[in-house]
Structure 1
């Protein structure tokens, strides 16, 4: 579901802001990826134009390829994070990198100034190693994905302020190929970097990307296009008959080893090229010492400082102003709104030896009335405390009644017995329950073995004086109780 708040759009877990770039296929926007507890991350979202997003076959192919591209994890690749297909709109979510494309930087390069070969080689080594990571990517099961970028071009090489070159738009080219014939003007700039086998419609492998990388490096070193034809048909014909020329013809300072590496990467027959992008990267590294990423960063700043500063301010403003919740949405609850813990709730007065509801026993067995003690540090629910309080109060009243009968004077006594002269409570008073010999320590029976039991918080009613009874006392009622082998006192019914 998508909706808007002010100038921001909410698409799933993304807040999409202003446009930062555009092309024939899509616009690119700043966005914030939202998470729980206020987490947010700045990303870039490519929004495909409706012409593409409404083409069901294109969308299906695009999503499949983007899923594969998401398996590529490398410092020289801008990672594909997500694809959102919503209401005939298609959004590709990528890492956000503050930088400029090689295409933009080349346009700022003075025409009479050729690029330092060491700088050009360093940039292309990063591109080649990013390509190699994609070519070597495997599925979750460990099967090779055999990814081919198909659109290695200056527009798809992003060089960050950190001096690192990164490839973008993995997985897009195959889906775009099917609409090339109807968008000739948009494709002309990309065709010049395609391999002969790609233009011929032959099966592609990683060596097609190697060819494209070699074309880009050749143009960086010479400062001129490798193909001279202007019209699309003539350009295609020139590539299909392509015979590479040494870059040193146009840039005499290029070392012989670099010249040879370029010629190998530009072979029309893919069998004569480097087998992998990593092989070409190593050949370039052997031909000339690369520079550090710091030197590359200085070159980027020298050509695009004002543009990058402007973008950095826009990113900062977006991060400060973009809302993380929409008006109709529900934000993550704060800790302050969480329910108070049980430690903040009023607790009932504790009762000594509070019995709980008897636990179910297996058929044919009798179990004791017991209190299930909570484990140390365990939480007790409010309902459990209330129920235990009620049940405990009932049994406390029963205990009080038993106490009254135990304090009743013998039949030969005609005087009231003061409450103060009543004997102390025995520590093992039973409430019609037998203590199981197999009871666990955590199950406390009504019979308490503590030598100093706490006093009950329920006051027993004061005994009243009874008139003397007639007749001789019953000798069986002296004493009026018996004590069994477990030490439990039982009162005689006929003596009550």
Structure 2
């Protein structure tokens, strides 16, 4: 596969924002813990604000690094109730490939979700660094990451309450900034803050609010929003939504990793199909990099022709997986994340990459970040702060980051 840089702006192209680091260095007590916030991890208007902090029991004990996710105040939703719901849901998710959520706290009236921090970086950071040094992630890297995420999704989709009641959980926001690559090669799915579930007492989503990440949204989510807008019905009934929506999102991420190109780029080929009439007043939980109407029609028109065009340079075995994962009709997709996971793992074996694992993933990740540093591309890394190693760290082979 040729090594070609991205030739069009990504939805999350680096943008500069004035940041006063002293505003993100403070201490406070909440609940049974003392928190020392050291620096921001993610500061970007299109994503959740993540702060790095040390957490220590007030009664004494070890100090551990955590992430604090600031919960946004959205019209029609109560931020504190939303944070509590996320913590309640996360307490039921106990899987090595899903990041843990520890607590919900409030500081100066601002609610935060306290989450596990795994040293390493987000998949988005590696994808950005690879584009900056004009290289592509290896197919084995992309397939291994996707298989690990599919394994996490299979568990989440089948999770039950303590009483054995199915949660029917759907992540709804699977994206490169919600996939964490550890410094030891582990892969974890993060941030279930936009998840749909049938957890008792859950908050209803306002009819005019599109939750999750619009850049990787499944078409049936948009169709259900349009239908609900017209009929004043609940847009997220179990009939309309299940884990196959997350499979579509993961398919888009896999395609992007393999081609080094965002599949729904506005400069891509848009088929000559009638545009869907966009409901007035519909809004998203996160800002969109292009108009929501354009993005929605791009998602709804992404069909077999586009998949064949986008995967022209992808190995045939992977093309078959992508065709199935990205079917516009969820009935034609993988019925479970486990089926997609198993096909991805079979591809690794059949392609002679069965030995690709944590060690190989970490070696490739570090090599890309090292090259970005050596070529003095540090300034371009603005989504996740402090990921690229310093020149001093490059000289220390024992340093991990």
TM-score normalised to the size of structure 1?
Answer: 0.55
Q: Secondary structure of the equivalent of 1:109? A: helix
Q: Secondary structure of the equivalent of 2:115? A: strand
- Summarize deviations over 1:315-349 as a string: whole Å, max 9, x none: xxxxxxxxxxxxxxxxxxxxxxxxxxxxxxxxxxx
Q: Secondary structure of the equivalent of 2:78? A: helix
Q: 1:121 matched to which residue of 2?
A: 143
Rounded to whole Å, the distance in 2 between the matches of 1:236 and 1:68 is 29
Q: 2:348 matched to which residue of 1?
A: 288
Structure 1: segments with no counterpart, 5+ residues: 1-5, 314-496
Of residues 142-151 and 237-246 in structure 1, the stretch that sits farther from structure 2 once superposed is 237-246
| Offset, 1:308 | 5.3
Q: 1:38 matched to which residue of 2?
A: 61
| Residue number among 295, 301, 304 corresponding to 2:366 in the alignment | 301
Q: 1:411 matched to which residue of 2?
A: none
Q: Secondary structure of the equivalent of 1:209? A: helix
| Offset, 1:134 | 1.1
| Offset, 1:89 | 1.9
Whether the 8 Å contact between 1:135 and 1:148 is mirrored in structure 2 is: yes
| Residue number among 126, 136, 160 corresponding to 1:105 in the alignment | 126
4+ runs deviating over 6 angstroms: none
Whether the 8 Å contact between 1:15 and 1:32 is mirrored in structure 2 is: yes
User: How many residues align structurally?
Assistant: 300
Whether the 8 Å contact between 2:36 and 2:54 is mirrored in structure 1 is: yes
- 2:100 pairs with 1:65: no
Whether the 8 Å contact between 1:98 and 1:308 is mirrored in structure 2 is: no
Q: Secondary structure of the equivalent of 1:141? A: coil
| Residue number among 258, 263, 287 corresponding to 2:323 in the alignment | 263
Rounded to whole Å, the distance in 1 between the matches of 2:119 and 2:205 is 29
Of residues 95-104 and 6-15 in structure 1, the stretch that sits farther from structure 2 once superposed is 6-15
Whether the 8 Å contact between 2:131 and 2:260 is mirrored in structure 1 is: no
Rounded to whole Å, the distance in 2 between the matches of 1:56 and 1:85 is 17
Rounded to whole Å, the distance in 1 between the matches of 2:88 and 2:138 is 37
Q: 2:29 matched to which residue of 1?
A: 10
Name which one, 1 or 2, has greater alpha-carbon Rg. 1
Distance 1:308 1:138, change over 3 A: farther
Q: 1:225 matched to which residue of 2?
A: 262
Q: 2:104 matched to which residue of 1?
A: 83
* 1:230-249 matches, cutoff 5 A: 230-245=290-305, 249=309
What is the Cα-based RMSD across aligned positions, in Å? 3.0
Distance 1:30 1:308, change over 3 A: farther
Rounded to whole Å, the distance in 2 between the matches of 1:116 and 1:246 is 22
Q: 1:382 matched to which residue of 2?
A: none
- 2:335 pairs with 1:275: yes
- 2:189 pairs with 1:167: yes
Q: 2:39 matched to which residue of 1?
A: 19
Q: Relative CO higher for 1 or 2, CA cutoff 8 Å, sep ≥ 6?
A: 2
| Offset, 1:20 | 2.7
Q: Secondary structure of the equivalent of 1:105? A: helix
Whether the 8 Å contact between 1:255 and 1:287 is mirrored in structure 2 is: no
Rounded to whole Å, the distance in 2 between the matches of 1:164 and 1:294 is 9
Q: 2:221 matched to which residue of 1?
A: 198
Distance 1:7 1:89, change over 3 A: closer
| Residue number among 44, 48, 52 corresponding to 1:29 in the alignment | 52
Rounded to whole Å, the distance in 1 between the matches of 2:64 and 2:50 is 20
TM-score normalised to the size of structure 2?
Answer: 0.67
Whether the 8 Å contact between 2:129 and 2:368 is mirrored in structure 1 is: yes
* 1:354-365 matches, cutoff 5 A: none
Q: 2:11 matched to which residue of 1?
A: none
